Structure 1
Amino acid sequence: MNTKINYYKLASTRLLEKIISEFSYEGIFAPVQNDADQEVYTIKITSVIYYKFKATKRIYGNLIVHQDSTIRHENDCSEVADDAIRFIIDTLPITKINPVTTAHFIKELNNTIYADIAILQKDKLSASEIYKLPYAYIEGNMTGHPWFVINKGRIGFNSSDHANYAPEMQKIINLSWIAVNKDLITFSCISNLSYSKITQKEIHPDILESFNKTIMTNNKNPDDYFVLPVHPWQWENVLKQQFTKYIADGEIIFLGESTDQHLAMQSIRTLSNISHPEKHSIKLPLNILNTAVYRGLPKNQTINAPMLTEWVKTIAKEDDFLSTCNFILLGELASAYCKHPYYSDISESPYYFTEQLGAIWRESIHSRLKNNEKAITMAALTYIDPDGKSVLCEMIKESSLNVSQWLDIFFENTIPALLHFLYKYGMVFSPHGENSILIIENNLPVGLAMKDFVDDINICKNPVEELATLPQEVKDVIPQVDDDYLLQFIHTGLFVVHYRYISTILADKLNFPELYFYQKLHECVERYQTSNPELKARFKRFDLYKKNFEKLCLNRLRIFEVGYGDYSSRPKVISTGQLENPLYLGKRFKEINTQEFYYNKVSFRPFCLEKDLDTIHKWMNKPHVAKFWNLDKPKEHLKKHFCNMLSNTNQNLFMLSIDGREIAYAEIYNAKKDRIAEYFLANDNDYGWHLLIGPEDAIGRGYSKLLVEALSKYCFSELGADKVVFEPDVRVIPFQKIAPKIGYKNQGQINLPEKQAYLFICSKDSFNVGKEL
């Protein structure tokens, strides 16, 4: 067995599946769903080449590709698709990525596959083992950005660099140190800190004395120099050559390495001290291109980081609500920035040329934890081990709570502080998984910490009252944006970048429907809003419940919008289309679930997976139901099926009773968004329904007419339908007799993949029941 090629194929296959999923989500291509089997999709490229795969559609419209299901077809030949690079080349006729971008993009994909192979070759830790590791070691076990397909592109690293400095390799890094003439450095710190305090905490006295001797050996006075850490890669690959003038005239002096051991965090450029975890984390420039940008240190953010830290932390400290939250802002307490002797004088030079030398000292999470608290990167909640087990699911399992209970605690301890900054101060951070740290105790979430918040602070352009007297020095450096853009930091930065993946994991692994997840999120937002009525006007202004929000696309940013050219500023993501807001859907789902509908003798209640699985399993396996629904399956199969149904935002599921006895199950769906729209001219307000009667003794008792009347009435009165449709199998005679009496007109026979059916349509005007409408 050729182990190398097996690792390559496995890494390449998983990347191919991710590319299909994320490119489909971003609209780079549009797979066509199979009518006969709605889990089967096809990407047609040319008349002779196409790809076919199985996938589950999720709440954002994204497709989760089933592992190892993708087949490449060319002419009359087919083979398992395991070549991500070949897929990119094959699909060029439909993606239309330009040749220069394609070549660079493939370079990043190859780098990503190389890194993923190294991960596959590591000793495997289980999901339950990973989240129990110390914080820095958890970071090193993460597998990269869940959305970017080039999440380990790392242009600038060679294979040795990858082995020594990639976070997942978990190699010990000893920082290099240099002395830089104070005249070249802009040093900043919070008010109760100083350069001397930083060096005393970070550098052992013996090491500092050795550094000073080296400076004096170069005939320089240590009092004229700042001592700064540099990343070993940056020193060897950038600074020694690009700062040659300063090095030659003794303005920069190499001092050697410190003895403290560090590990690279997920961002690669931030290093955590594992010799003394309470010491600062160090953020250093690393001029490699990874995901969206070069990982340098921008001048303005670096210089102003301590001032912004102090300003935001003062707000948090003095706010009564925030003081009750276990919400930690890991401050960037001190910074140093050195401008380049030449690049800084070039107007509009590529941004990374001016971000080569500097340092930021950030609070360590270990210095802020209470007794018995543990920190894990929020990104760990998306981690799935080689056996398919999830960190998130293992945490829930070991907490002894069910999913719903655990999520209540999770949201209550992570969301309110972010909401409060938004609603009261018109301020947001970027709370995606890599920036957020979950604080847990006894396997339960008890708080949230934010890092890198200084880089991503944005405030509303039209300031709220609480920021009306914003200090000028703050106003000068914080981006001030429109309200809709501000909300993107929550919608995209949290919901799409993070919750999109963990809601999928809970649906896939624990059969917890995605709509249940977003209902839980809504309930947390609702509790915050109810307990803060004085901010009611802000809830309307910063409306998180808009039905749709703009879709931002990270992969499009690279392959279409900016490519691999040089720019004077960091690229910004441009919106592409609209997304249905899952928070809005969660709110609507709760509203539906808390209402019962009554008409004549019929009552509706929402279908509940936990409560109704046994009943629906029994009904689906009855011969009179099975021959039409084809769901006479084991209970676990039905549990997965109905979990996916409850994650489909285009429909609602109900249990129906007559005279208090539960006898039927129904699905009501938007016809315009359903395949039935291929068979008639559908409008946005057209709805359809499916119905089954479960108990045999309920057949032939005249219940069908009552149920059809009630379903139709619900669509017209509760949903505001213009037309209502249903498509009974031609063998179902009772519905064909009942429908015309109620106002439905038979449009003739239609051929659906699973049945021959009649299409019946009823308009609001022709509905013969309840003319009070």
Structure 2
Amino acid sequence: MTAATTARAAVDSVFAVGTRRGELTFSPVDPDHDAPVVQGWLAHPASGAWHMTDLGVDDVRDYLGAVAADDAQDGWLVRLDDEPVAYVETYDPARVLLTAVHDAAPGDVGMHLLVAPAPADPAARRRGLTDAVMSAVVRFCLADAADGGRGGARVVVEPDVRNAPIAAKNAAAGFRVLGEVEVTDGGHTKTAALSVCTRADFAASPLGAGVDPAPHLRADLADHAHRHLAAKALAELTHERLFAPVADGTADGTSGAGGATRYRLDLDGVTYTFDARTFVLEHWVIDPASIVRTARGDREQGGTALPVDVLELVAELQPSLQIPDELLATYLEELSSTLAAAMAKRDRELSGRTPDAAGLVAGLTAPAPGGPGGADPDRDPADQDPADRAEDRRRTAETFQAVEAAMSEGHPGFVANNGRIGFSLPDYEAFAPERGGRLRLQWVAARREHTHLALADDQTESGLYDAELSGAERAAFADRLAARGLDPAGYLYLPLHPWQAEHRLPITFAADVARGDLVPLGPGADEYTPQQSIRTMFNRTRPERHYVKVALAIQNMGFLRGLSPAYMRATPAINDWVADLVDGDATLGSAGFGVLRELAAAGYTGDVYHRTPRPNAHRKMLAALWRESPLPRTAPGERLATMASLLHRDAGGRALVTELVRASGTDPADWVRAYLDAYLYPLVHCLRAHDLAFMPHGENLVLVLRDGVVRRAFMKDIGEEVAVLSDRALPEQVARIAAPVDDAEKALAIFTDVFDGVLRHLAGILAVDGVLGEDRFWALVGECLDRHEAEHPDLDSGVDLRAAGFAHSCLNRLQLRNTLQMVDLADQSSSLIYAGTLANPVGRR
């Protein structure tokens, strides 16, 4: 190559890419200068597919000139170290060659490639050059125009189906064959394998840069997640008395950090040591970074250090845990899924995609718009400027959902709490609550004679659908039914989770769809965000509208997450009864306590699974309910948060509750007192005055905050988890919630679900963070109980919440006993497992 040629190539290059063979550059073809080179390649027998072997240099010059003059196509010369190695044509397939056989999409770039024939001398051949050129050409076609590329979204090729070598090369670059088409070019007709390659296709291909499908599964995140879950497993399973670590005064002669004690747990062949602080209710707070796992060796010399691995920990603990052998793998899979989710959650927060505790608190303490008066709690919302009120509601909804998606822990007691068995990685990315994504529910028309719709007293069928579906949606659904010759009046509309609609509706219920009992209608208009309970959706398009809870046939935390149509028939009636009781109680009213009613439930029962001799999980796959949103019941300046957030620590170890207390400017004791007044006091009153017990764990309570302080609370998940613990008379539709027990077991509704399930964790966080000592915390709990008793001397209740101790009900033991179904929902009391008694931290001294 002459010096002049080298200089021209450097000036004309528009794109360059490094390869294993060196840098490849792309320049517009120069017909006058480049025709001899290209003609020599075309004349070679290896280039027969171009049908130009008989063209002379002048013919090729004319051909290249015609390509250059056509604004729908371009010719490019590819050079390696300034030596020509390939000729490329790019074209618009909507205007050139494929107009009759390809439905071109915006961003399609057609491509033809001619690689210089290999030298006759094998020693002169450069191995891997064709792969390097192919990779560079696809990169060129897909690269942004600003970077010198062609800006394509897809590359389109149409090689002869008989050309096996190019078919293999295309496949290596990620091309997918759409089908065979007849293509005529220059008088030659061929059967072509019409193929396309997207950016994602190419990136994932052997010739692409490669794609890490799970970038969160990396060693640093795994080590943190293993240690976090190992610390939780050691703490919670010790709390449930499945084993007993011992204080280790001889392991290294030192005590733990931060006032902690060094503990030791000897297992078969392995020893764990760690720093822990212990609190009342046998609550353990273990420092994950302090955990050391060693193979058992000579005690003086020490054993071999082993990595901390929570899966191995469970396997090593199996003699103590006694998980049934046939279910051990299922539990380990749920734990592995929890581990993967922990890595993903931490990755998102460290990258800034999830706000930290300070960012969440900033939203929860933000004032109402409209000046100082905007946050006046006594101000009538009707007096607020409509624009300010709309903005206030928007802020409340956004903060509410930001908090919901930020939760990194899951259930505070269960170790394997993010099983989600059935989700693929794309499913996880699309539907996991911590991803904070949005989805559209899929709707199906269910034949009315096989479907029920249960409604609250103040609801009607038309009112429900008019509110939840726009006029355009209802018209479209009716048209789609009519187009199939079906009468829309003969159907009810049922929302489905997208996963359920894809994995269950067309397969598990194929026969029902085929006979028209179920008619898929497509997605609705509104976008929803999954909540921590995973199958409950919050409406992001219209946040004032209802939550939608749907069946989701994945295995998660000891249950297949379905919804029973039969069980839900009574749900609205139960919710009405509970809401009437709560609304009619002056004490609950003054505490601001309310329930979010489940006011409609629908379920399909026309499938064959409902006609089998025994109940089965398949009967719980096509059902939904609608629950009230708390947003319309907020006043200006009030913010919403799941109560689970009070137990949340961010990736930096900062607790949201600690940040809230500090941001509020309120004395910590006063802050806790306000929280107990909103949470504990109403629950105690419901139990002592009405024998009414809820399932008041963190995700079942929505807290209402103002200026960072809890003011009141809403209870949800009423239909499945409320119980009347006495023989009181109940309406027929409500009778199933009666579960009479003695006074000692009634008290467990507070002792187990509140003291042990929530408050011991909260007290530990506040104590470890130096916000409020545990003695003071539990003294405030005792004051709350005493105040309720003093204010209601006439209540005839045998429930003694100041008893010296109470039965120790163990949650993980339930899951370890049966990882597929922890309890019988129809008889939860008899399913419980106890491990002796716990000393009541507010028991009489």
Equivalent of 2:303 in 77, 84, 87 = 77
Whether 2:801 is the aligned partner of 1:575: answer: no
Kept in 2, the 8 Å contact 1:293–1:571? The answer is: no
Q: Cα distance, 1:438 vs. partner?
A: 1.0
Whether 2:473 is the aligned partner of 1:207: answer: yes
Residue 589 of structure 2 corresponds to which residue in structure 1? 323
Deviation per residue, 1:370-398 (Å, 9 max, x gap): 22211110000001112221111111111
Whether 2:257 is the aligned partner of 1:45: answer: no
Q: Cα distance, 1:199 vs. partner?
A: 1.0
Amino acid at match of 1:60: L
Deviation per residue, 1:201-231 (Å, 9 max, x gap): 1111111111110011111011111111110
Equivalent of 1:115 in 335, 341, 353 = 341
Equivalent of 1:510 in 746, 770, 781 = 770
Equivalent of 2:232 in 8, 18, 21 = 18
Whether 2:405 is the aligned partner of 1:140: answer: yes
Q: Cα distance, 1:356 vs. partner?
A: 0.9
Equivalent of 2:462 in 191, 196, 200 = 196
Residue 57 of structure 1 corresponds to which residue in structure 2? 278
Report the more deviating stretch, 417-426 or 207-216.
Answer: 417-426
Q: Cα distance, 1:2 vs. partner?
A: 11
Q: Give SS of 1:310's match.
A: helix
Unaligned runs of 5+ in 1: 464-468, 589-773
Q: Cα distance, 1:93 vs. partner?
A: 4.1
Amino acid at match of 2:652: D
Equivalent of 2:686 in 421, 429, 444 = 421
Cα gap change, 1:237/1:348 in structure 2, threshold over 3 Å: closer, same or farther? same
Cα gap change, 1:565/1:419 in structure 2, threshold over 3 Å: closer, same or farther? closer
Kept in 1, the 8 Å contact 2:723–2:738? The answer is: yes
Report the more deviating stretch, 446-455 or 572-581.
Answer: 572-581
Deviation per residue, 1:441-487 (Å, 9 max, x gap): 11111101011022111112333xxxxx4223322454444433332
Counting aligned pairs with the same residue, the percent is 26
Whether 2:788 is the aligned partner of 1:528: answer: yes
Deviation per residue, 1:489-525 (Å, 9 max, x gap): 2211122111111100000002522121111011011
Q: Give SS of 1:18's match.
A: helix
Q: Give SS of 1:241's match.
A: coil
State how 1:443-522 maps to structure 2 within 5 Å: 443-463=708-728, 469-522=729-782
Whether 2:707 is the aligned partner of 1:442: answer: yes
Tell me the distance in 1 between the aligned counterparts of 2:752 and 2:825: 22
Q: Cα distance, 1:149 vs. partner?
A: 0.8
State how 1:364-443 maps to structure 2 within 5 Å: 364-443=629-708
Cα gap change, 1:340/1:490 in structure 2, threshold over 3 Å: closer, same or farther? farther
Residue 359 of structure 2 corresponds to which residue in structure 1? 129
Tell me the distance in 2 between the aligned counterparts of 1:567 and 1:416: 28
Q: Give SS of 2:532's match.
A: coil
Deviation per residue, 1:279-310 (Å, 9 max, x gap): 00000011111112111112344111111111
Q: Cα distance, 1:579 vs. partner?
A: 3.5
Report the more deviating stretch, 390-399 or 76-85.
Answer: 76-85
Tell me the distance in 1 between the aligned counterparts of 2:216 and 2:638: 45
Equivalent of 2:532 in 244, 258, 266 = 266
Cα gap change, 1:478/1:222 in structure 2, threshold over 3 Å: closer, same or farther? farther
Tell me the distance in 1 between the aligned counterparts of 2:640 and 2:739: 30
Tell me the distance in 2 between the aligned counterparts of 1:548 and 1:274: 45
Amino acid at match of 2:463: K
State how 1:146-185 maps to structure 2 within 5 Å: 146-185=412-451
Whether 2:520 is the aligned partner of 1:306: answer: no
Higher Cα radius of gyration? 2
State how 1:655-674 maps to structure 2 within 5 Å: none
Q: Cα distance, 1:569 vs. partner?
A: 5.8
Tell me the distance in 2 between the aligned counterparts of 1:94 and 1:412: 40
Tell me the distance in 2 between the aligned counterparts of 1:113 and 1:571: 32
State how 1:683-694 maps to structure 2 within 5 Å: none
Q: Give SS of 1:335's match.
A: strand
TM-score normalized with structure 1 length: 0.72
Kept in 2, the 8 Å contact 1:459–1:486? The answer is: no
Residue 544 of structure 1 corresponds to which residue in structure 2? 801
Q: Cα distance, 1:192 vs. partner?
A: 2.0
Deviation per residue, 1:584-627 (Å, 9 max, x gap): 34x54xxxxxxxxxxxxxxxxxxxxxxxxxxxxxxxxxxxxxxx
Kept in 2, the 8 Å contact 1:174–1:258? The answer is: yes
Deviation per residue, 1:411-450 (Å, 9 max, x gap): 1222222222111111111111110111111111110101
Cα gap change, 1:453/1:564 in structure 2, threshold over 3 Å: closer, same or farther? closer
Q: Give SS of 1:242's match.
A: coil
Tell me the distance in 2 between the aligned counterparts of 1:401 and 1:511: 11
Residue 292 of structure 1 corresponds to which residue in structure 2? 558
Residue 96 of structure 2 corresponds to which residue in structure 1? none
Tell me the distance in 2 between the aligned counterparts of 1:93 and 1:529: 46
Kept in 1, the 8 Å contact 2:560–2:820? The answer is: no
Tell me the distance in 2 between the aligned counterparts of 1:335 and 1:134: 28
Residue 331 of structure 2 corresponds to which residue in structure 1? 105
Q: Give SS of 2:520's match.
A: strand
TM-score normalized with structure 2 length: 0.66
Q: Give SS of 1:505's match.
A: helix
Equivalent of 2:511 in 242, 245, 259 = 245
Residue 555 of structure 1 corresponds to which residue in structure 2? 812
Deviation per residue, 1:166-190 (Å, 9 max, x gap): 1001111111011111111111111
**Number of matched residues?**
576
Residue 604 of structure 1 corresponds to which residue in structure 2? none
Amino acid at match of 2:818: V
Tell me the distance in 1 between the aligned counterparts of 2:483 and 2:687: 54
Whether 2:541 is the aligned partner of 1:275: answer: yes
Tell me the distance in 2 between the aligned counterparts of 1:494 and 1:337: 33
Tell me the distance in 1 between the aligned counterparts of 2:745 and 2:612: 31
Deviation per residue, 1:263-286 (Å, 9 max, x gap): 000000000001110000000011
State how 1:535-684 maps to structure 2 within 5 Å: 535=795, 537-538=796-797, 541-559=798-816, 561-564=817-820, 572=828, 573-585=831-843, 588=845
Equivalent of 1:66 in 275, 287, 305 = 287
Tell me the distance in 2 between the aligned counterparts of 1:353 and 1:248: 18
Residue 157 of structure 2 corresponds to which residue in structure 1? none
Q: Give SS of 1:30's match.
A: coil
Whether 2:247 is the aligned partner of 1:33: answer: yes
Q: Give SS of 1:353's match.
A: helix
Residue 672 of structure 1 corresponds to which residue in structure 2? none
Cα gap change, 1:487/1:293 in structure 2, threshold over 3 Å: closer, same or farther? farther
Residue 602 of structure 1 corresponds to which residue in structure 2? none
Amino acid at match of 1:404: A
Amino acid at match of 2:834: T
Tell me the distance in 2 between the aligned counterparts of 1:306 and 1:96: 40
Cα gap change, 1:410/1:93 in structure 2, threshold over 3 Å: closer, same or farther? closer
Tell me the distance in 1 between the aligned counterparts of 2:216 and 2:468: 48
Amino acid at match of 2:530: A
Whether 2:318 is the aligned partner of 1:92: answer: yes
State how 1:336-355 maps to structure 2 within 5 Å: 336-339=602-605, 341-350=607-616, 352-355=617-620
Cα gap change, 1:510/1:360 in structure 2, threshold over 3 Å: closer, same or farther? same
Kept in 2, the 8 Å contact 1:381–1:502? The answer is: yes
Tell me the distance in 2 between the aligned counterparts of 1:271 and 1:564: 24
Tell me the distance in 2 between the aligned counterparts of 1:291 and 1:299: 21
Tell me the distance in 2 between the aligned counterparts of 1:430 and 1:473: 20
Equivalent of 1:224 in 490, 504, 508 = 490
Tell me the distance in 1 between the aligned counterparts of 2:746 and 2:566: 21
Amino acid at match of 2:772: F
